[in-house]
Amino acid sequence: QITLKESGPTLVKPTQTLTLTCTFSGFSLTTSGVGVAWIRQPPGKALEWIAFIYWNDDKRYSPSLQNRVTITKDISKNQVVLTMTNVDPVDTATYYCARRLLVRGQVLDPWGQGTLVTVSS
């Protein structure tokens, strides 16, 4: 069974750095083709893709966020970490991580339960 779970702070002040961790089980980020993505969803709004990291350490970022986000992996801990600098209230959202399905394209399945992050002073 494949599971992913997000963790991190629920409240962050503006200008601070947000660090979120995705801990997964049931698959390995050393297997060819495997990837993990971060996606966010502001309250009441649509989904927004943030970043991808792959088994070969290839990384992809959303152009609108690439100057502020970094994605890394820790194979030994089965974790993927997202760091977002200089956060703003508009970054308030539920943050999800998801595994890339091993099919053509960047299909996400399954997803973690999500973690709500509020940016406020």
Partner 1 sequence: EIVMTQSPATLSVSPGERATLSCRASQSVSTNLAWYQQKPGQAPRLLVYGASTRATGVPARFSGSGSGTEFTLTISSLQSEDFAVYYCQQSNNWPVTFGQGTKVEIK
One of 8, 21, 49, 78 touching partner 1 (CB under 8 A): 49
Alpha-carbon distance 53 to 68, whole Å?
16
One of 1, 43, 104, 121 touching partner 1 (CB under 8 A): 104
One of 32, 105, 120, 121 touching partner 1 (CB under 8 A): 105
Q: How far is the CB of 2 from partner 1 (least distance, A)?
A: 11
Q: How far is the CB of 79 from partner 1 (least distance, A)?
A: 18
Alpha-carbon distance 54 to 32, whole Å?
8
Query: Could you tell me which stretch among 13-21, 25-33, 77-85, 97-105 binds partner 1 (CB under 8 A)?
Result: 97-105
Interaction between residue 5 and partner 1 (CB under 8 A): no
Residue 114 φ/ψ, nearest 5 degrees: 90, 155
Alpha-carbon distance 111 to 67, whole Å?
25
Name the residue nearer to partner 1 (CB basis): 1 or 76: 1
Q: Compute the C-alpha angle 74/16/42, nearest 5°.
A: 80
Interaction between residue 63 and partner 1 (CB under 8 A): yes
Residues 6 or more apart whose Cβ sits within 8 Å of residue 29: 36, 53, 55, 73, 75, 78, 80
Interaction between residue 54 and partner 1 (CB under 8 A): no
Contact 82, 22 (CB under 8 A): yes
- Per CB under 8 A, residues contacting partner 1 are 37, 46-49, 52, 60-63, 96, 101, 103-114
